[in-house]
Amino acid sequence: MSEHITEIVVFTLLFLLVSGMGFVAARWRAPKDMEHLDEWGLGGRSFGGWITWFLVGGDLYTAYTFVAVPALIFGAGAAGFFAVPYTIVIYPLFFLILIRLWSVSHRHGFVTPADFVRSRFDSPTLALLIAITGIVATMPYIALQLIGIEAVLKTMGVTGESVLARHAPIIIAFAILAAYTYQSGLRAPALIAFVKDTLIYIVILVAVIYLPYKLGGWGSIFDAAEAKFNASPNPNDGITLNANNQIQYITLALGSALALFLYPHSITGVLASKNRNVIKRNMSALPAYSFLLGLLALLGYAAIASGVKPLPGAREGTVDSNTVVPLLFDMQFPAWFAGVAFAAIGIGALVPAAIMSIAAANLFTRNIYKEYLRKDASPAQEAKVSKVTSLVVKVGAVACIVFLDPQFSIDLQLIGGIIILQTAPAVALGLFTRWLHRDGLIVGWVVGMSLSMWMLWQIPNAATGKAHFGGSAFPLSEFGFDTSRTIYVGFITVIVNLLVAAVVTLILRALKTPEGVDGTTQDDYFADEGDPRIDKDVAVATDRPSST
């Protein structure tokens, strides 16, 4: 531990700095009345281009991504680079979708995707399913942020033998995070995101210039990686793709892209922006992070070239591949700069964790508490419930990591990405058409979810010795095709979901089943800043100087 003292000091100082910022954030762009879900949960719906860029960037590109993607490249090579096409496709794909979602939410004061579905399809049941899917998909994602921090702490040697000693730093970090999120709401991660992203950009720029300089240039880094993969028995690794994993690469990139903006925390970031132009402009500014992610991913190869050996995992005989990048920094950088890099990753975990817990809390408040438990809840009560729920969510995430095998959270997050995709027909398609019947959407969701679970159950993982939930690459031979190609589970199941929803819609229509009343109008999908709002209690929130 003593050899890491400089790193620990730098890490701790930066961590304390952002914690201070988190508490001060409550007074940043201070509202007249914080006791409103629009203020606590959406930062007053007033963020401009820059804040949105930092906030959404800090939200989508999480600490876990920053340690897990290079780890994947380290282990499997080109297949792990899917993160780049994934984050290229996402912005043009959602360009036209998000502005419609923003407009209709602005007009009606929707806080969550389930709010929209409730009003559009006139179905509290469908909204409940969307809300539960969102919460279930988000929870393990928060837990994974802790794994990001843990990878860094482990590398610095801040790990004890007992369960408590090992997890004490994470429990303290999350307690501080919980406290300032409770107080400042979405303003806290928005402000911290500035520091986090600045640190990340500096670290990566230095890393991609300095590391090749030390390791003999990018050419020899790639050659070292190629030599490693040639020597390995795994047929599917390598610095380019092979015939078997190309379909998986494409469908994983497309499926993940479609899923990302369906996650409640991404939608929270988008709805917090002040107008449509902020969103549109960010669709071309956010790819700067994709560039960063791509460079970071390649550090997995730099780790191969510099001979990094991942630290042992939680169970006997396993390795924790998430420690690959932290170890690389520890090995190659001077101690003080490694400290900065670790702080960047550690703080990087706090921003998304805060937004995710806010988003999950909002879903609970709006679509479960207000819908089923207390229909006449005032905005102040809503804000209160959300604040408390955000604490519960974080305690749950910490408990997941402390009491369960971390692998469990990783499996859940894998499932999470696939189940959140099952909300696409209602949320994404629902923004354009109401053709699908609400009950058809429910049946489609049920079938899509069941099929996803079955397919994931079937997938073994030879590397970790697991028989089930071993990954998201489904062998097409299971469907009777004579091939060793694989495909992304979510891609298949969302298509089946959609087909089932369409068929059931036709049947229900033939039976003349009531479709409910659309609570939105055509023009709602084009509303912009300054347009009148419909919900009376959010009208108060618009009456502020910054939104005129």
- Give me the residues that bind other proteins (CB under 8 A), please: 78, 81, 84-85, 87-89, 91-93, 95-96, 99-100, 212, 217-222, 239-241, 246, 249-250, 253-254, 277, 280-281, 283-284, 287, 290-291, 294, 298, 522-523, 526, 528, 530-533, 539, 542-545, 547-548
Which structure tokens are listed for 140? 């393990």
Within a 13 Å sphere around the CA of 281, how many CA atoms are in the beta-carbon half? 14
CA–CA separation, 395 vs 160, rounded Å? 21
Measured in whole angstroms, how far is the alpha carbon of residue 30 from the centre of its chain?
Answer: 27
Strand runs (DSSP E) across 414-541, as ranges?
473-475, 486-488
* C-beta separation of 31 from 186 below 8 A: no
Look-up: residue for tokens 């009777």? 480
Residue number with CB closer to other proteins (35 or 528):
528
Helix, strand and coil content of the chain, in percent to the nearest 5, comes to: 75, 5, 25
Within a 13 Å sphere around the CA of 36, how many CA atoms are in the beta-carbon half? 18
CA–CA separation, 320 vs 81, rounded Å? 19
Strand partners, 487: 474
In Å, what is the CA distance from 522 to each residue of 201, 213, 431, 519?
42, 57, 10, 10
DSSP states of 41-93: TTGGG-B-HHHHHHHHHHHHS-HHHHHHHHHHHHHHBGGGGGHHHHHHHHHHH
Give the dihedral of Cα atoms 330, 332, 336, 339; nearest 10 deg.
Answer: -30
**Residue 32 CB, nearest distance to other proteins (Å)?**
14
- Orientation angle between helical segments 49-60 and 276-285, nearest 10 degrees: 50
CA–CA separation, 392 vs 138, rounded Å? 13
CA–CA separation, 128 vs 116, rounded Å? 11
Which structure tokens are listed for 209? 């210039």
- Pick from 348, 338, 60: which is nearest to 195 by CA? 348
Burial class (CB in 10 A: 0-12, 13-18, 19+), 424: buried
H or E element in which residue 130 lies: helix 124-155
- Pick from 56, 50, 44, 34: which is nearest to 111 by CA? 44
What's the per-residue H, E or C state across 378-395? CHHHHHHHHHHHHHHHHH
**Residue 294 CB, nearest distance to other proteins (Å)?**
6
Residue 515 DSSP class: -
H or E element in which residue 475 lies: strand 473-475
- Pick from 110, 39, 112, 40: which is nearest to 535 by CA? 110
* C-beta separation of 216 from 302 below 8 A: no
3-class SS of residue 38: helix
Strand partners, 238: 77
Burial class (CB in 10 A: 0-12, 13-18, 19+), 14: buried
